[in-house]
């Protein structure tokens, strides 16, 4: 993914947003991100999910799906708090960028 270091924060926000709404799983998240123009591989997403879980933003459980299992991630209280703070910062940045564009 081009500019991965910059865009990875937005990807994490997407993950927290959806995990706060409902449980998510890796392949669904890859497809959801693709709808927003992010091309991310499983080799990038899964380490990100695992790191977010280690940091306490997500929790996961295995869910049986036929003969296989799917790991489902949900946002923790810490993850919901982090998302709320990130939304405030995103709104602030958005206003700054939009105001700057209006005055240019």
Per-residue pLDDT of the chain (104 residues), as tens digits, is 677 778 889 999 999 999 999 999 999 999 999 999 999 999 999 999 999 999 999 999 999 888 989 999 999 999 999 999 999 999 999 888 887 767 66
**Secondary structure class of 3 (helix, strand, coil):** coil
Query: What is the pLDDT at residue 104?
Result: 65
- Whether residue 74 contacts residue 29, with contact meaning beta carbons closer than 8 Å, is answered with no
Nearest to 27 by CA among 2, 45, 9, 50: 45
**Secondary structure class of 41 (helix, strand, coil):** coil
Nearest to 72 by CA among 33, 28, 11: 28
Query: What is the pLDDT at residue 102?
Result: 72
């Amino acid at each position: 993914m081009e500019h991965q270091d910059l865009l990875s924060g937005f990807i994490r926000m997407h993950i927290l947003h959806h995990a706060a709404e409902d449980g998510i799983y890796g392949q669904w998240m890859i497809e959801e991100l693709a709808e927003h123009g992010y091309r991310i591989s499983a080799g990038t997403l899964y380490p990100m999910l695992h790191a977010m879980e280690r940091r306490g933003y997500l929790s996961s459980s295995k869910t049986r799906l036929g003969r296989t299992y799917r790991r489902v991630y949900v946002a923790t209280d810490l993850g919901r708090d982090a998302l709320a703070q990130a939304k405030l910062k995103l709104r602030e940045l958005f206003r700054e960028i939009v105001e700057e564009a209006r005055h240019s």
